[in-house]
Amino acid sequence: MKPTTDERRRYIRVPVSGPVRWRSGGRSGSCELLNVSPGGTAFQVPVRVVHDIGPTVTLDVELAPNANWRLVEGATVVRRQTHEDGTCTVAVTHPPTD
């Protein structure tokens, strides 16, 4: 897939797709990863659980059973966009990755 860019953005976003686990304020759940960049990430959750996601979130990718990769920890939620299909896109910002 071709990366997308926008004049307002500092980093190019790369579209991705795959399951991710989110954790926020003692709650957790599954979500679908939508895109990543060195300074931000977007994922999609069912709208019924978006209220469980607090101001910061940690995202883990399950590589194999009991083998997780920490994509981002303590990312700040900057946007929540509800869709008619019952899902919500959550965008987070985090310090740039190396």
Domain segments of the chain as ranges: 14-93
Q: What is the pLDDT of residues 62-72, one digit of tens each?
A: 888 889 899 99
Measured between alpha carbons, how far is 59 from 68 in angstroms, rounded to an integer?
Answer: 10
pLDDT at residue 65, as a whole number: 85
pLDDT in tens, 45-87: 999 999 999 999 999 998 888 898 999 999 999 999 999 999 9
Share of the chain above pLDDT 70, in %: 89
Distance between CA 43 and CA 14 in Å, rounded? 12
User: Given a cut of 70, is residue 3 above it in pLDDT?
Assistant: no
CATH superfamily for domain 14-93: predicted glycosyltransferase like domains (2.40.10.220)
Mean pLDDT of the chain: 89
Query: Cβ–Cβ contacts within 10 Å for residue 34, how many?
Result: 18
pTM, entire model: 0.85
- Check residue 98 and give its pLDDT: 57
Among candidate residues 13, 14, 43, the one with its CA nearest the CA of residue 31:
43
